[in-house]
Structure 1
Amino acid sequence: MFAEIIVDIKTSYVNQCFDYKIPANLISRLKKGMGVIVPFGIKEHYRLGYVLKIKTQSVWATKQIVDIVDQTFFINEELFLIADKMLETPFVTKTIVYRTIIPSIFSFSYKKKVIIKQENLVPSEIKTYLKKKKYYLAFKDSLFNNVLFQQLIKQQILEIIIVLKEKYQSKQNWVYTLKLENLPKTTLTTKQKNCLQHFQEQAIVVKTQKEMFKFASTHIINQLLQKKIISKNKQNIRKPSPQIASSIVVSLPEIPLTTSQSDIWHKINSHCYQTYLLVYEEEHDKIAIYLKCIVDKIQQQKQILILLPEIILIQPLFDILQTKLPTIKIAVLHHQLNNENDWEQRQQISSQQVHVVIGNRSAIFVPLERLGALIIDAEHDDSFIEKEKIPFYDVRELAQTRAIYHHIPLILTSMTPSLESVYQIQQKKYQLLRFPVKSKKTKFHLIDMKEELKKGNLEPFSHILFQNLIKTIHKQQKTLLLINAKGFSSFLLCRVCSYIAKCVQCKQKMTWFLHKNILKCCFCHRQESFSANCPRCQQATLKSVSFGIEYIEKFLKEKLPLVKILRLDSDMLSSHKKYEKIITLLQKKNIDILLGTEMIVKNLAIPDFHLVGILMADLLLNAPTMKSSEKTFQLLTKITKYNNFTQPVFIQSYQSQHYIFQTLAYDDFKTFYQKALQERKLSQNPPFWFISKILISHKNFYQLLQIALNLKVHLQYHDQQPIKVLGPTFPKIKKKKNLYRLLLVLKYQTWPLHFQFIIEKNLQKEAFLIFDRFAHII
């Protein structure tokens, strides 16, 4: 018997499977999807692999599987389907995809182990270093740059082998074991006898260190160890894997629904695949549908997966569900869990002992055998698109794959649905579920900042907004102000020589953060300390040009020194503890002004405000992305839910005649979506066309340009489907890690693309290709 295995090798040159012989002792145990250890390469270093297929014949298999990895996770048929979906993206390797699907808690790291063959020839300083590292070295350990160390390897005094190490090492504890066979041979003192009596009275021969110290001193324990009456060893304290549950029956309360909620619920067919778009205005309407869906599915012995865009939103939803349905078991998954909690949560899930799984983007890969419904909360949020690392994927697409596999409903929810989802409604691919529009509407007051300039107002606040702010403070009422720009200033300019502070790595303008007194690049996240001295002319004339949230905070503190201000941005909400602290401050009314970026509208449980003001509404509108109009509309619409209708929402803009502000002012959502879709159609943008980019990197610019132009020609005349190719153009970061970079922009109407011919014909030559499917690289 033979196994077709995908070996854990990152390089794009090894994007294939390999056949291995199955040893006789593993034939009955080995199954498709299991993890195995295999020898790989000329030196036959051990690598992790996953079994994709078991077959009876192979002409390629020369090596044998070493062992099955002892773990609870394996790739099931559903996850294989998801992997195939992700592998539709050109230039993506199988290893990268499977690494993404497999939880890191179950994966392995590779270390170089140093074996000393001739100890007397190894210098003491190298011996000491190796002993300190327990003879395991990372691949980039500084010791590999040591000339003497390299010589010892060449002379075969030292040998390097690559070994696998579990990324999650279970915690260990010291345990003491009673050696009954040695008792008659030894004379014991009274205290030693008293100590041993605790073992014998409870009929326990093993005790932990904590238990031992309750009835014996360190001195007594050491004496017993010397006499070999007890032994001391380390023992894993990892909890045993729970038994797989055959059923998950619990008592559940009846979920009362209003008339409108009941009407929505009865439109959902829970027994077949269908994608629903649930549009709501009130949070409690959405939660009622969630609760009803959970109860309905649990009664059918099914499980529910709920995905949220941000980690900070997980705990509030968990608390609501646990309060309303206290008997159900909920698992939480996200990357901020420590290894122990992550392992325990996944053990519970793998044994099918949970009813509901709540997580962020990566939870789409969690294996659930009895999945009954899949919910994506705030489906319009870009956080559901993986755009930071390869492979790029859209959670909504993968969710559809899972929903089709299980024949279950996929429910997308949003207050402000994405244009793509609205288009799918028009194409009758999604079913719209919309709660009735509430009668009480938010009023908007648009302020044209160009007119403020004509009046001589150079400050960030218009006269009318600042006057209303002061009135609200005098009434001891709360104000919410939004400016969607982090830091103090988005860039700095020298007033003498016109020098602009830029990142030395990617050549982009650096943002000045006043509170930390640093300059930070928003592209590569490089930081450096701030100095007002210009590095070019040496004058102390480096000044801010534009302003961000920290500038507004400073401005308000100078104008209103007694007012309590709380600044809220993504840095302030990096963990749930910080989130809870901020919510507590708001609920206790310890602040007068909440000043925030778009993080405010991430469904946070923030109370109503008497005054809501939006500064520089143009910032999002002028962003270099086709989604700028859509994102601005969504942001402004969602922030109105914090207004208690006593005053209009004040919006400051230099483009007050833009159709976004007009449709908001007249509460005309339908017109906005019509105009936005018409814009996309005329410009041949999604959802009518697909847009992707190919990022090409090479150490030699002239060769890079030649490869890019050659690729453009082949893509334009590709016979499988018409593709419009724009470029090549420079991305914002023209050079990275000593590689020059160019972009090709592709517009096409059918997916997936079939670009295997590029690799087969070696059109890329020595260049590196990244297919940016969602065109996020700029």
Structure 2
Amino acid sequence: MIAEVAVDCPMKKLNKVFHYLIPPHLKQFISPGSRVIVPFGRQRVLGYVLDIKEHSDITQLKYIHDILDGQPLLDENMIKLGKWMAHRYITSLACCFNAMLPSALKTNAVEKYTVGDNCYDEKLKTFLSTPKALGELIKAFGLSSQDISLYIKRGVLVKQKHYEHKSSQKYIDILQLTKGVTKEDISKRAYRQHQLFEVLKNQKEVVFQKLPVELKRAANSLVEKGVVLKKQKQVFREPNNINIQEKCVISLTSYQKQVFETVSESLSNLKRDSFLLWGVTGSGKTEIYLRLAEKAISQNNDVIVLVPEIALTPLMVNRFKNKFNDNVAVLHSGLSQGEKLDQWQKIKEGKVKIVVGARSAVFAPFKNVGLIIIDEEHENTYKQEENPKYHTIEIAQKRLELSQGVLLLGSATPSIESLYRTEHGEYKLLNLPKRATANEMPLIDVVDMKSELENGNRSIFSKKLFKSIKKSLDNNEQVVLFLNRRGFSTTTLCRKCGFTFKCPSCDLTLTSHDNGNFLICHYCHYQLSKPNSCPSCKSIHLSFNGIGTEKLQKEVQKVFPKSKILRMDVDTMSSKDSYNKVYQQFADKQGDILIGTQMIAKGFDFPDVTTVGIIIADMGLNIPDFRSAEKTFQLVTQVAGRAGRGDKAGVVILQTYSPEHYSIEHSSKYQYKQFYLKEIKIREALNYPPFVKIIKFDIVANQEERVKKEAIEVAEMLKELQKKHQIQKSEILGPVMSARYKLRNNYRWQVMLKTNNMKQWLDILNKYNFPHKFSKGIRVSIDVEPTTTT
């Protein structure tokens, strides 16, 4: 029997399938989807079995060394998905399969030593009857590194890679009475044993670890006598969730009913449909998700619910667990290794029908996926930034193509591409134009901060925002302040000579934290203690310019000293339970004002929030990216939706230096359709998505001149391929320096390909193994349909 194996090898030029013989003793265990250890050159590496064949055209095949798991981890559809991903995102098969598995199931390769054919030392043979690590070998025999190398060369020792899981299953010891035993089987003088007997008689099983010390001793004695059985039982580690009873919507609005019935019909008829649910903030999208999940489960289908950020996962889990109890698993990178493994196994073993999670949960090992819901579908976080650089929506579409199911994308501010697809029949558009309650959308009051400055107001707060915050606090209501930048200040400079403190590895300005007590680079984490003087001119007159959430918190506390302030950003969310804790505190009204970055822009439903302040609304408009206006519109609309969600009316104060910009103008009036029409015309004129597809090539090296030279070569090679294969409707732009030119001592250039012949380009780039054609020390990374061009 022959196995086709995708080898997980760092030699990326060998991105193909290899054939191996299956040893007779492993034939009944190895099948497609199994992970195996195979010889590859002089080492042993991890591989994924794709298929089993009777014959191979290749002679002199090697045998598979071992199998890694008790059962296949990937089914037929996931293998097909991995093959599609490798072609779509121009990467290796093993890279795609690795992405499908939780990190807890991934393996560590540990070098160990065993005896070779030329070993005649009986003591060494005995010691190495089981493979040993290098340290153990040196300690036992006092060998030097030269001795080890010589023994390997002579065949006395063999160095091998052994693969070990990063995390393991958790077991507890369970005690049970042996069938047929009675009280008379225990000595009358053994008081503790009799005490334990009574406990076990009244309970089906007892956890050994929970017993007091004296009863543990009694238990061990009874186990030895055969009176008590002691066996291991696997337990599933559960992540902590928010404990809030969400208000239930008793009856659906007419708009909600129409949406539910339309999607429900596709579920009932097993249609492979894709829907875009465009619903304003507070329109009750989550209630529809819950009811559709219930419908899918009633038809014995599995359900995947995705949210854009880890921070939002506990809130969605809470809502689903309130309805479906233990039928819900959760998957995201914020869980511990053990929690991830347990949740994944629960899904794999069919113990749950619903999984809620972030991006990677799209690979949940369900056998019968019938519904995938992607909430806030417009978010960039659905795009994976490391290999394989997949887009979650594309993966979801492919999974449902393989298993026949329904895709539901939800958003208050759909991406331009998604709405465009509804106009061209790829998605079916569904609308929720009104909030589920009787409340209107909160009024957005735009404040021109240039006018505030001209009128002598140099504060972070406009007069309108100050009054609105004070009014809410006086009425015992809550306030949310949004600023999409963390830290204390963004730039530290010398007021005398203009010197700016920058990261030596990234050539970017350092952000100050802790009231300016240290400066840090948010890319490579380089830190600098608070400078006392300018390193250029020695002046002590330093200025901390710009504002982040930390500085905003300090200013708010100064202006409203009696208020209780909570902050939610990357710096304060240090542990996996930080989000839950802050959310719970604000929900319980232990905080008056919540300050945060974009993680507070979505999913928050606090009825007492009556004022939302957007401190600098146009911060993202200066980013050199064709989606900057769209992202600004989405953020403003999403943040504004946090106000007035209860019985009290809300107000949003939007502070900006660009009130005339069409993104600010339309978002302040909730005019998504007008914004879309304006933006789509600009995209068409500039030939940007959705009117064209983009492939971005990032060229990275640690030598400035070399990376430029290689970037020119990449552009030339693409032009040669275009000419050779006569590819029409394609434009190659660049090379140009990346917006973040230097990061972690590496220089970056990019080439961008615009095309309406994506399939032809993918076929050619995969055929030529394009990213691996360049010299050592040069990294060429390909991003198919990137979310940003910076």
TM-score by length of 1: 0.84
**Is the alpha carbon distance of 1:589 and 1:53 closer, same or farther for their aligned partners in structure 2, counting shifts above 3 Å?**
closer
C-alpha contact 1:114 1:158 (8 A) present in aligned 2: yes
C-alpha contact 2:771 2:781 (8 A) present in aligned 1: no
Task: Give the unaligned 5+ runs of structure 1.
Answer: 179-187, 242-252
Aligned to 2:296: 297
Deviations 1:638-661 (A, max 9, x none): 222233374642211111111123
Q: Which letter does structure 1 place at the counterpart of 2:378?
A: H
Report deviation, 1:587: 3.4
Aligned to 2:416: 419
Aligned equivalents of 1:762, 1:161: Cα separation in 2: 27
Aligned to 1:246: none
Aligned equivalents of 1:121, 1:624: Cα separation in 2: 68
C-alpha contact 1:446 1:652 (8 A) present in aligned 2: yes
Aligned to 2:465: 465
Asked if 1:150 is matched to 2:153, the reply is no
Aligned equivalents of 2:693, 2:499: Cα separation in 1: 40
Deviations 1:53-107 (A, max 9, x none): 2112222452112333333452212212321232124652222222112333333
Q: Which letter does structure 2 place at the counterpart of 1:161?
A: Q
1:44-443 alignment runs, 5 A limit? 45-58=43-56, 59-89=58-88, 91-114=90-113, 136=133, 149-156=144-151, 160-171=159-170, 213-215=213-215, 238=234, 256-268=251-263, 269-270=266-267, 271-281=270-280, 283=282, 285-326=284-325, 329-387=327-385, 389-437=386-434, 440-443=440-443
Aligned to 1:249: none
Report deviation, 1:756: 3.8
**Is the alpha carbon distance of 1:720 and 1:463 closer, same or farther for their aligned partners in structure 2, counting shifts above 3 Å?**
same
Aligned to 1:770: 781
| Aligned-pair identity (%) | 30
Aligned to 2:753: 746
Aligned to 1:571: 571
Q: Which letter does structure 1 place at the counterpart of 2:358?
A: N
Find the residue that maps to 1:755 and give its secondary structure: helix
Aligned equivalents of 1:148, 1:733: Cα separation in 2: 49
Task: Give the unaligned 5+ runs of structure 2.
Answer: 178-185, 238-247
| Mean Cα deviation higher: 269-278 or 62-71 | 62-71
Report deviation, 1:190: 10
C-alpha contact 2:236 2:342 (8 A) present in aligned 1: no
| Mean Cα deviation higher: 642-651 or 723-732 | 642-651
**Is the alpha carbon distance of 1:463 and 1:168 closer, same or farther for their aligned partners in structure 2, counting shifts above 3 Å?**
closer
Find the residue that maps to 2:758 and give its secondary structure: coil
1:463-502 alignment runs, 5 A limit? 463-502=463-502
Report deviation, 1:376: 0.6
Aligned to 2:736: 729
C-alpha contact 1:712 1:744 (8 A) present in aligned 2: yes
Of 706, 709, 722, which aligns to 2:709? 706
Report deviation, 1:51: 0.8
Aligned equivalents of 2:373, 2:531: Cα separation in 1: 49
Report deviation, 1:490: 1.1
Report deviation, 1:731: 2.4
| Mean Cα deviation higher: 750-759 or 648-657 | 750-759
List structure 1 runs of 4+ shifted beyond 6 angstroms: 116-122, 172-178, 188-204, 209-212
Find the residue that maps to 1:581 and give its secondary structure: helix
Give me the CA root mean square deviation: 4.2
C-alpha contact 2:491 2:509 (8 A) present in aligned 1: yes
Report deviation, 1:501: 1.5
Report deviation, 1:302: 1.4
**Is the alpha carbon distance of 1:581 and 1:350 closer, same or farther for their aligned partners in structure 2, counting shifts above 3 Å?**
closer
Deviations 1:182-219 (A, max 9, x none): xxxxxx99989997998999999x9967769434759x
| Mean Cα deviation higher: 725-734 or 307-316 | 725-734
Report deviation, 1:712: 1.2
Deviations 1:524-575 (A, max 9, x none): 3333433343334444333212122222222232333333322232333455
Asked if 1:715 is matched to 2:718, the reply is yes
Aligned equivalents of 1:295, 1:706: Cα separation in 2: 57
Deviations 1:291-325 (A, max 9, x none): 22122222211121111112232222222223234
Asked if 1:689 is matched to 2:692, the reply is yes
Aligned equivalents of 1:235, 1:453: Cα separation in 2: 74
Of 682, 689, 704, which aligns to 1:679? 682
C-alpha contact 1:176 1:209 (8 A) present in aligned 2: no
Aligned equivalents of 2:195, 2:562: Cα separation in 1: 69
Find the residue that maps to 2:738 and give its secondary structure: coil
C-alpha contact 2:488 2:513 (8 A) present in aligned 1: yes
Aligned equivalents of 1:211, 1:449: Cα separation in 2: 66
**Is the alpha carbon distance of 1:307 and 1:648 closer, same or farther for their aligned partners in structure 2, counting shifts above 3 Å?**
closer
Q: Which letter does structure 1 place at the counterpart of 2:456?
A: G
**Is the alpha carbon distance of 1:137 and 1:499 closer, same or farther for their aligned partners in structure 2, counting shifts above 3 Å?**
farther
C-alpha contact 1:716 1:724 (8 A) present in aligned 2: no
Q: How many residues align?
A: 737
Q: Which letter does structure 2 place at the counterpart of 1:671?
A: Q
| Mean Cα deviation higher: 77-86 or 563-572 | 563-572
Aligned equivalents of 1:197, 1:329: Cα separation in 2: 37
Deviations 1:701-745 (A, max 9, x none): 444433322321231341352432222222245455665432112
Report deviation, 1:386: 0.8
Q: Which letter does structure 1 place at the counterpart of 2:727?
A: Q
Report deviation, 1:398: 0.5
Q: Which letter does structure 2 place at the counterpart of 1:502?
A: K
C-alpha contact 1:508 1:732 (8 A) present in aligned 2: no
Aligned equivalents of 1:372, 1:176: Cα separation in 2: 41
1:593-632 alignment runs, 5 A limit? 593-632=593-632
